[in-house]
Amino acid sequence: MFDFTFHNPTKIIFGADKETLIGAELKAAGISRVLLVYGCNSVIKSGLLERVMSSLAASNIAWTQFGGVVSNPLLAHTREGVALAKQDQVEAILAVGGGSVLDEAKAIAVGALTAEDVWQFFLGQKVERALPLFTILTLAATGSEMNGNSVITNASARQKYNISSPHVYPRVSILNPELTHSVPLNYTAYSAVDAITHVCEGYFTKQPGTRLQDRLVEGIIKTVRETTELIMAEPTHAKARASFMWAATLALNGLTPAGVGKYSFPNHMIEHALSAIYNIPHGAGLSIVMPAWMKWYCPQNPDQFARFAREIFGLDSGEAGIAALEQWFIKIKSPVRLHEVGILATDIEAIAKNAHGLARQWGIAELYPQETIAEILRLAV
Amino acid sequence: MFDFTFHNPTKIIFGADKETLIGAELKAAGISRVLLVYGCNSVIKSGLLERVMSSLAASNIAWTQFGGVVSNPLLAHTREGVALAKQDQVEAILAVGGGSVLDEAKAIAVGALTAEDVWQFFLGQKVERALPLFTILTLAATGSEMNGNSVITNASARQKYNISSPHVYPRVSILNPELTHSVPLNYTAYSAVDAITHVCEGYFTKQPGTRLQDRLVEGIIKTVRETTELIMAEPTHAKARASFMWAATLALNGLTPAGVGKYSFPNHMIEHALSAIYNIPHGAGLSIVMPAWMKWYCPQNPDQFARFAREIFGLDSGEAGIAALEQWFIKIKSPVRLHEVGILATDIEAIAKNAHGLARQWGIAELYPQETIAEILRLAV
């Protein structure tokens, strides 16, 4: 165990129809006008947005609609949201959608309270304050509903950068697992990969000897695997969708790394470079990167890989555990090689260069020189 | 999975020497005067109280000392604390000690903001507000440092009752595991029993089929057992003391029951009656009650007891798992029979009557008529 501070003040309201409580929650927080951030038309077609607006109206909360957030949310669109939040003097941001919508909403919450360009904060400036954020989640994957992280893509600079700040933890996040029943199976698979990767980053890169945290991680991975298979067989499996959703939240809410000391996010680093350049789904990128990274990293932490193989797959070697995880990604139809998403071996140097830029930002440039990242990526050809 | 709300806003600061940060934390919260609540002389002898007061002085925080909290904290003493808090117009309560000190501090925090007698809230009146609470923990066991529970004993009425309210979550809890190195081994054993019981109550009494929560519970139990054995062999084993401390916090911070639906605390119900009448250590009472309750309850939930036996002890029947847990309590020298703490079989009816009073308060009177509780207690003769 190492010293840590754990402080996660997000209130989670979990269950069927809970999105109808959003008006009352905002009112209780003294808020009278929000920027209502969402993505594509699916939240309109499904009737969710209408239910949300009814709840707002019933509590006399005014709103400004701001749709059009895309997967791998874009800086240019974020800036539009910041301008609108300022223009309409909203008092809070309400995000209705998946991780991308939540991440962009967080960025808007930061940008709305400063005269500076919001990208400055993604380049390293410290976030000092943000508008309060409320969320209604429609996709279980990123954990953004219960953490202080936001990832935004600057398309022209081909940079997918993040902020991490206590000021952007949602005040309230509403998780209705029924809203995820219609998530397509390919995106469910990518979400499973994302949640598993979130816990694996710390599990493999921390120092050895924090078994409580190991066990929390293993419990989450087992649950994600088990529920993903149930969902693949029956997409509206209510119990499985619900457990999957809560497991994905716990996978990146600060619980599993509390006390483990220093650790890093090498798979996310490399994947952010991939999707910054190629705009592939984040989870699809991760299922390509992670087996490759594991094969490269396994000799540096053989005991933990052996433990992973034993606890998750009942296998007796680290290599066998990595192979089993890769096979499982194949089974749930998430890609495991670069060519499956149209990336060529000749693209590797450009990706490695981009990822190394992130490695510098994340303080792991010495561990991950460009050539090392290229070596890892070549294992995914 | 069942609907739930999870909201745990306590900030945990964990690590060596972190108690020296308390002045700065109070100052950051805008507080200038606290009631400093503690127990016996050990925090004076160890120098802890002096370090805390130095930190307060350095941040210009004034304080009123209020020592003398006992194990199974008493209503009469709580009322003195309430009067003192009002008299000196403190703005917050600072608790330095174990679960008993924290529980009494919570009760004082509630009593300080009302003209009513504080016991009314333990009899069922709703808590509407409380002074902010800050804690420095010296004993890992009760989880009080990260939850909204407080248990107080009304000695004259022989009632050990509790409140549970979002208003008494500590704002900040400082956990320095080094402060627990000097905890005697018998109290370490009782603490281990307490933490294990906290997670077992929900694990066995909830509906089946919430495996994520099962796994979180099993991870905590495995960690408590493993670290207790390391501590028994080497009381200042730093890593074991630290992991034990964090596991005990997670055992009752709302994490493991989130989503499991209705569950109950039968072992705590019976034990509160035991220690209300006999003033025995809470954990010692629990290690007597729990094996007896398990033997009685096992036929009502055989699959979960089989799972417990398999996951925790590698055994293949529920009965074998219960026997193994009882043997483990004996191994760590926590009592498992009533006579070991001087309670006679002829006392059982009085205990059962007292416990049934609690069963009514906790809404499980139908499940636990007095005769059933007596039947369970007879298994501990």
Tens-place pLDDT, residues B135-171: 999 999 999 999 999 999 999 999 999 999 999 999 9
Indicate if the pLDDT at residue B24 is higher than 90: yes
d(CA B59, CA B134): 15
Minimum Cα–Cα distance from B259: chain A residue: A14
Gap from B263 CA to chain A (nearest CA, Å): 17
Q: Is A360 on the interface with B (CB under 8 A)?
A: no
| Average pLDDT value over all residues in chain A | 97
CB A68, CB A111: distance < 8 Å: no
SS (H, E, C) chain A: CCCEEECCCCEEEECCCHHHHHHHHHHHCCCCEEEEEECCCHHHHCCHHHHHHHHHHHCCCEEEEECCCCCCCEHHHHHHHHHHHHHCCCCEEEEEECHHHHHHHHHHHHHCCCCCCCHHHHCCCCCCCCCCEEEEECCCCCCHHHCCEEEEEECCCCEEEEEECHHHCCCEEEECHHHHCCCCHHHHHHHHHHHHHHHHHHHHHCCCCCHHHHHHHHHHHHHHHHHHHHHHHCCCCHHHHHHHHHHHHHCCCCCCCCCCCCCCCHHHHHHHHHHHHHCCCHHHHHHHHHHHHHHHHHHHCHHHHHHHHHHHHCCCCHHHHHHHHHHHHHHCCCCCCHHHHCCCHHHHHHHHHHHHHHHHHCCCCCCCCHHHHHHHHHCCC
Burial code of A17-46, b = ≥16 C-beta within 10 A, e = fewer? ebbebbbebbeeeebebbbbbbbeeebeee
Interface test with A, best of B212, B220, B227, B239 (most A CBs within 10 A): B212
Indicate if the pLDDT at residue A279 is higher than 90: no
Beta-carbon contacts of residue B61 (< 8 Å; ≥ 6 apart): B23, B26, B27, B31, B32, B33, B34
d(CA B228, CA B234): 10
Between A274-278, B192-196, B204-208, B270-274, the lowest mean confidence (pLDDT) is in A274-278
Q: Is B12 on the interface with A (CB under 8 A)?
A: yes
The neighbouring-strand residues paired with B14 are: A4, B175
CB B48, CB B96: distance < 8 Å: yes
Map residue B181 onto helix, strand or coil. coil
A108 pLDDT tier (thresholds 50, 70, 90): very high
Pairing type for strands B33-38 and A11-14 reads: unpaired
What Rg, from alpha-carbon coordinates, does chain A have?
20
CA dihedral in degrees (A140, A142, A146, A148; nearest 10)?
A: -160
pLDDT of residue A235: 98
B85 pLDDT tier (thresholds 50, 70, 90): very high
Higher pLDDT, A15 or A275: A15
In this prediction, residues B69-94 reach a mean pLDDT of 97
The neighbouring-strand residues paired with B92 are: B34
Q: Is A126 on the interface with B (CB under 8 A)?
A: no
Find the angle CA(B143)-CA(B145)-CA(B147) to the nearest 5 degrees: 70
Beta-carbon contacts of residue A360 (< 8 Å; ≥ 6 apart): none
Q: Which of A47, A148, A54, A34 shows the shortest CA–CA distance to A95? A: A34
Between A40-49, A97-106, B85-94, the lowest mean confidence (pLDDT) is in A40-49
Indicate if the pLDDT at residue A339 is higher than 90: yes
Q: Which residue in the set A12, A16, A211 is minimally distant from B5, CB to CB?
A: A12
Q: Contact B223/A209, CB-based, under 8 Å?
A: no
What angle in degrees, to the nearest 10, is found between the helix axes of A211-233 and A238-250? Answer: 150
CB B241, CB B231: distance < 8 Å: yes
The neighbouring-strand residues paired with A150 are: A163
d(CA B206, CA B155): 32
Q: Which of B75, B95, B91, B100 shows the shortest CA–CA distance to B27? A: B91
Q: What are phi and psi of A38, to 5 degrees?
A: -150, 180
Looking at this protein, which amino acid is placed at residue B196? I
Gap from B88 CA to chain A (nearest CA, Å): 31
pLDDT of residue A100: 96
pLDDT of residue B279: 86
**pLDDT 10s digits, A361-373:** 999 999 999 999 9
d(CA B305, CA B290): 13
A256 pLDDT tier (thresholds 50, 70, 90): very high
Map residue B334 onto helix, strand or coil. coil
All residues of chain B having their beta carbon less than 8 Å from the beta carbon of residue A247 are: 212
B189 pLDDT tier (thresholds 50, 70, 90): very high
Q: Contact A11/B5, CB-based, under 8 Å?
A: yes
B53 pLDDT tier (thresholds 50, 70, 90): very high
Indicate if the pLDDT at residue A41 is higher than 90: no
**pLDDT 10s digits, B282-330:** 999 999 999 999 999 999 999 999 999 999 999 999 999 999 999 999 9
Q: Which residue in the set A5, A7, A223 is minimally distant from B212, CB to CB?
A: A223
pTM for the model stands at 0.97
Indicate if the pLDDT at residue B41 is higher than 90: no
Domains along chain A with CATH numbers = 11-179 (3.40.50.1970), 185-378 (1.20.1090.10)
Q: Contact A246/B239, CB-based, under 8 Å?
A: no
B276 pLDDT tier (thresholds 50, 70, 90): confident
CB B211, CB A35: distance < 8 Å: no
Indicate if the pLDDT at residue A40 is higher than 90: no
All residues of chain A having their beta carbon less than 8 Å from the beta carbon of residue B226 are: 211
Q: What are phi and psi of B58, to 5 degrees?
A: -65, -25
Chain A contacts in chain B segment 230-289 (CB below 8 A): 239, 242-243, 246-247, 250, 255, 258-259
Q: Contact B3/A18, CB-based, under 8 Å?
A: yes
All residues of chain A having their beta carbon less than 8 Å from the beta carbon of residue B243 are: 1, 210-212, 259
Q: Which of B39, B33, B91, B25 shows the shortest CA–CA distance to B62? A: B33
Indicate the helix (H) or strand (E) that contains B4.
strand B4-6
Q: How many CB pairs under 8 A join A and B?
A: 110
Q: Which of B290, B55, B90, B76 shows the shortest CA–CA distance to B190? A: B290
All residues of chain A having their beta carbon less than 8 Å from the beta carbon of residue B7 are: 9-12
Q: Contact B13/A5, CB-based, under 8 Å?
A: yes
| Average pLDDT value over all residues in chain B | 97
d(CA A285, CA A279): 9
Q: Is B210 on the interface with A (CB under 8 A)?
A: yes
A153 pLDDT tier (thresholds 50, 70, 90): very high
pLDDT of residue A344: 93
**pLDDT 10s digits, A190-221:** 999 999 999 999 999 999 989 999 999 999 99
pLDDT of residue A369: 97
Chain B contacts in chain A segment 164-193 (CB below 8 A): 177
Q: Is B20 on the interface with A (CB under 8 A)?
A: no
Q: Contact B9/A9, CB-based, under 8 Å?
A: yes
Q: Contact A212/B7, CB-based, under 8 Å?
A: no
Q: Contact B242/A259, CB-based, under 8 Å?
A: yes
In this prediction, residues A104-114 reach a mean pLDDT of 98
Gap from B256 CA to chain A (nearest CA, Å): 11
